[in-house]
Chain A
Amino acid sequence: MKILGTGSALPKKVVKNDDLAAFLDTNDEWISTRTGIRERRVLSDETLQSLAERAGKAALENAGVAPEEIDYVLVTTVQAETMSPALACDIQNAIGLKCMGMDINGGCTGFIAALAVAEGLIASGRAKKILIVSAEALSRFADWTDRSTCVLFGDAAGAAVVGEGEGIKDIRFASEPRRDVLCASTPPGNSPFAVDPAPAQYLKMQGQEVYKFAVSHSFRDIREMLAYHDLQPEDIDFYVLHQANMRILEAVRTRLKVDEGCFPHNIERTGNTSSATIPVLLDELNRAGKLKPGCRVILNAFGAGLCTGTAYLEL
């Protein structure tokens, strides 16, 4: 399987760190030194569906693939605007698709999870071309009264068209089931039979524990992937990591002992957009002409579950 094209879409509303200081006890210096984030994009009068449609269309155009060639749409999202139908079905009319669609919730690891699902569908011969759209609206369930978490997140959609061919060499996952350090819950509904239903809860995160998990597991998973393919850290052109925190990226990079240029980042402009970070960053690299044939790329994501995903690509 290989990536045929990429696309992305960001909300128009830019929220700078100083904008948050208007209603939170925080400031640009505090946020930027701890996270690397200077601004993020947040949905205001747009829908998540519209972002997903824009990103999906852009990926098809970039791939030079007609909508009718797509056999499956996989959307990754932690929470779409509807539970049913899936966002993967709702975006099809606007893009001109007519195929099976389903949503995958893999947390921040969603895009890599979708690559693995797509790989299975293509390897089995059930699909030739698949559109993956990672669309996330963390602003909808971040706790905007909690200065330690809401400053981290943004909204975005990133997309990729994948198809038959050589390119994605390997995909691996790891997990350490832990609910306490990163969780959010949906409203309980109004069933008359529910006993003590748990109320909805905005996203809660223990930053230090997530940092430890992310740094130790990313480094371990990347090192194992490299060893399996008989590669050294410096053999990789780009490490495209989940954009959660600049400090995490730097901690993994210094452990791998590779140059800053190998660790592209856009977190300073986007914040953490969950499963959308990797396809959005891939699209930026692609459109900047940096993803050249022969390039070796590692994708690595970590997040709610807790789980991690790592992919090795040769373009």
Chain B
Amino acid sequence: MDNVFEKIVETIVDAKGIDAASVKPESTFKDLNVDSLDIAEMVMTLEDEFGITIELEEGIATVQDLVNLINERIAG
């Protein structure tokens, strides 16, 4: 769980050049200035990292939403 969150933070920091401390589980991607294609790009990195395939759906609003989606795929 923590590992997934940390990897997402690292990916956002790499992509957008923002301060890691400003990324919280409850942060919305909108607030972080991360748009839908940024999310798709990040998910490609995370798919490779965790060896999973994620089908993106509507409604991924917060960092926690993405953590949950990835954990479901890892578990399932």
Q: Name A residues whose Cβ lies closer than 8 Å to a Cβ of B.
A: 33-34, 206-209, 211-212, 215-216, 245, 247, 251
The answer to whether the Cβ of B70 comes within 8 Å of any Cβ in the partner chain is no
- Please tell me which one of the listed residues B37, B44, B55, B56 contacts residue A34 in the complex, with CB atoms under 8 A apart: B37
- Assess whether B44 is in contact with A207, with CB atoms less than 8 Å apart: no
- Assess whether B36 is in contact with A212, with CB atoms less than 8 Å apart: no
The answer to whether the Cβ of B6 comes within 8 Å of any Cβ in the partner chain is no
- Assess whether B43 is in contact with A212, with CB atoms less than 8 Å apart: yes
Which A residues touch B36, using CB under 8 A? 34, 207-208
| Chain B residue at minimal CB-CB distance from A35 | B37
- Assess whether A209 is in contact with B56, with CB atoms less than 8 Å apart: yes
Which B residues touch A215, using CB under 8 A? 41, 44
Is chain A's binding surface mostly helix, strand, loop or mixed?
helix
Which A residues touch B44, using CB under 8 A? 212, 215-216
Q: Which of B39, B40, B44 has the most CB of A within 10 A?
A: B40
Tell me the minimal C-beta distance from B11 to chain A in angstroms.
Answer: 14
Given known pairs A215-B44, A216-B44, A251-B41, the reply for A208 and B35 (CB within 8 Å) is no
Which B residues touch A245, using CB under 8 A? 37
State A212–B43 Cα separation when bound (angstroms): 8
Q: Closest 9 A-B residue pairs measured CB to CB?
A: A208-B40, A208-B56, A211-B40, A247-B37, A212-B40, A211-B37, A212-B44, A208-B36, A209-B56
| Chain A residue at minimal CB-CB distance from B41 | A251
- Assess whether A33 is in contact with B35, with CB atoms less than 8 Å apart: yes
State A34–B36 Cα separation when bound (angstroms): 9
Which B residues touch A34, using CB under 8 A? 35-37
Which B residues touch A207, using CB under 8 A? 36-37, 40
Which B residues touch A209, using CB under 8 A? 40, 55-56
25 A-B contact pairs sorted by A residue (CB < 8 Å): A34-B35, A34-B36, A34-B37, A206-B56, A207-B36, A207-B40, A208-B36, A208-B39, A208-B40, A208-B43, A208-B56, A209-B40, A209-B55, A209-B56, A211-B41, A212-B40, A212-B43, A212-B44, A212-B56, A215-B41, A215-B44, A216-B44, A245-B37, A247-B37, A251-B41
